[in-house]
Structure 1
C-alpha cells in the first residue's frame, strides 16, 4: 500500500485521533501494509524507527487506535492480542507451525454460505444465535 504521511495524518484525524509525531510515525508503520502484530512486536517496530518512544506510549496508542477503529484486534487461543492493520471485512488463516497469520478474503457468495452454515450449526448445537462471526482457519502440517 502506498501510504503517505499526509494520508496517515488524515486517517488519524478522521478517526478522532490527534496526530502527534509519535502517533503519526506509529500509524504510518502499522498501516503501510497489512500485518498482524502483537504489542511487543509493535514496540520493536516503532522503536527501530522512533527510538525515543516509550513502551507505555506505544501500548497506550495501540489501545487508542483499536478503540477508535483504526486497527482491528484478533485474539487467538494463546490469549495474545494481535493488532490487525486491515480493518476491511476479512477472515484469517493461522499457520500453527510458524505462527503466521494471513488474511483470507472470500467472495460474497462463498462467505454467505460458510457463515450461514456456521450460524445454523451453532444454533442447533447450543440453541443460541450467532450475530457476528469471524472465521479463523487453522493450518496444520501432517
Structure 2
C-alpha cells in the first residue's frame, strides 16, 4: 500500500511506465512537489539526505536518467559534463549563471533562432536548446 503523501507521484510514475519503488517515490516527491525546478544529481542527493532519505548517489543518478527516459524530466547540459535535470517540459531556454551554477528559465518566445542547418540524412531536429551564459 502506498502512503497517501506519495499517491500523486505514484500515479505520475505509473503513467510514465515506471514501477513505484521506494527510491523513485521519494525522489519524485522532492522533484515534482515544488513546481518547476532545475536540479543536479548532487543537489537532489543532498536534498533527499536532508529529509532523512538514505539513498546512494548512484541511485539518484539512475532514477534521474530513468525519469528523463520516461519523459518526466528534460536534461540540460552546460559546461561539458555538468548536467541539470529540468521538471519544466514546455519548450523554453535557459540563463546559466556561471559563478553560482544557477539555471533559470527563459520563455521560448523571448529567444529567436533565425536559421537552423538541415539535419543529416536519417535524422531530425528534436529541439533546440539555447543557454545564455551570465557572469558578474
TM-score band by shorter chain is 0.7 to 0.9
CA displacement at 1:57 relative to structure 2: 2.1
Please, which of 111, 125, 136 is the counterpart of residue 131 of structure 2?
136
Mark the runs of 5 or more structure 1 residues left unpaired by the alignment. Answer: none
Runs of 4+ aligned structure 1 residues displaced above 6 Å come to: none
Give the TM-score of the pair, scaled to structure 1.
0.76
Aligned partners of 1:49, 1:72: CA distance in 2, in Å?
Answer: 24
SS at match of 1:83: strand
CA displacement at 1:69 relative to structure 2: 1.3
Deviations 1:57-96 (A, max 9, x none): 2221112111111111011024211111212211111112
Mark the runs of 5 or more structure 2 residues left unpaired by the alignment. Answer: none
Structure with the larger helix share: 1
CA contact (8 A) 2:76 2:85 kept: yes
CA contact (8 A) 2:91 2:108 kept: no
Computed over aligned residues only, the root mean square deviation of the Cα atoms, in angstroms, reads 2.1
Give the TM-score of the pair, scaled to structure 2.
0.79
Q: Larger radius of gyration, structure 1 or 2?
A: 1
Aligned partners of 1:136, 1:38: CA distance in 2, in Å?
Answer: 16
CA contact (8 A) 1:94 1:102 kept: yes
CA contact (8 A) 2:26 2:53 kept: no
Aligned residues: 126
